[in-house]
Structure 1
Amino acid sequence: MARPDKVEAVDEIADRFRGASASVVTEYSGLSVAQLKELRRSLGDNATFRVAKNTLVKRAAADAGVDGLDELLAGPTAIAFVTGEAVDAAKALKKFAKDNKGLVIKGGYMDGRALTSTEVEKLADLESREVLLAKLAGAMKGNLAKAAGLFQAPASQVARLAQALADKLAAEGAAAPAEGDSAPAES
């Protein structure tokens, strides 16, 4: 018979797996309570960092339909459940791990598949969604400006040609009466 507190813990972890856009599995050995508090603060509101027993996490992952994490669940384990942008949380974890050698990123889970630690680090190296969207918008704006210039070019060439023709006709018209001054005599 399972103890009620463990059943409740498994249910809570399973709910977090279901509600998370991504999860990052870490090892936290050697970190103090103050460092864990600092890590939680650096993750912000988009992620929660939870220390859990491996057996409970395995059961919760199975309940939530998360496969591929069993090999990551060895040693002291803590999981960052990301509800916002996975890139931001991965960046915060990578930066914290760089500054604090006690935190080791083991891997993660996102978009229905397990991630290796290398894939999590690659995710951390991506630029944020807002930056990528801004770059895309800038590229699109540049291409639209180029297209507008190309579409405008024939019309402006026709306008310059028409102006040159009008100037030429005006010059010829002004020159024609000057030649005609010695024209026919009066009768």
Structure 2
Amino acid sequence: MIIAVTGHQRIPDMVAAFVRDGVRAYLAAYLGAGGNEVNGSRGDGNVLVSCLAVGADQMVADIALDLGYRLRAMIPSHGYESTFDADGLASYRRLLARADETVILDFDHPCGAAYMAAGLRLVDECDALLAIWDGFPADGLGGTGDVVAYAGRCGVPMHVVWPQGVRH
């Protein structure tokens, strides 16, 4: 089973536990489902595909790795590390070192087009999309709302984790 994650970079403290618990429950439900052949999956075990951005991406990657998922890092561009603060960069590098596969898209620098391309590729390669999303449109090109909208147009199964009525 290949699950991709998209989500907000800023998760308010008041919802972080709710999100963590919801993510863990969702990912745990697929343990042992690695033999499914949905959207071309070959049953090589459970895989999480993530851009490893701060916030939701890194939170979900940590949980997935703890549960025994393999990690495929989908890096939007060369120079992506320049978008992180010191703490985010340390987490990014730690998770990247644990990735079983790393894909770097052919963009010279981080930009909206690179983020959008990465989001589209996440959806195209997954069996299901896990969205840490408040339901509002994306703040910029390639944001969570854009990725969710694309997944909806493609008919990709999607699970949203976010408490109702809270904006990121």
Q: Normalised by the size of structure 2, how large is the TM-score?
A: 0.26
**Higher normalized helix content (fraction of residues):** 1
Q: Normalised by the size of structure 1, how large is the TM-score?
A: 0.24
Higher relative contact order at CA 8 Å, sep ≥6: structure 1 or structure 2? 2
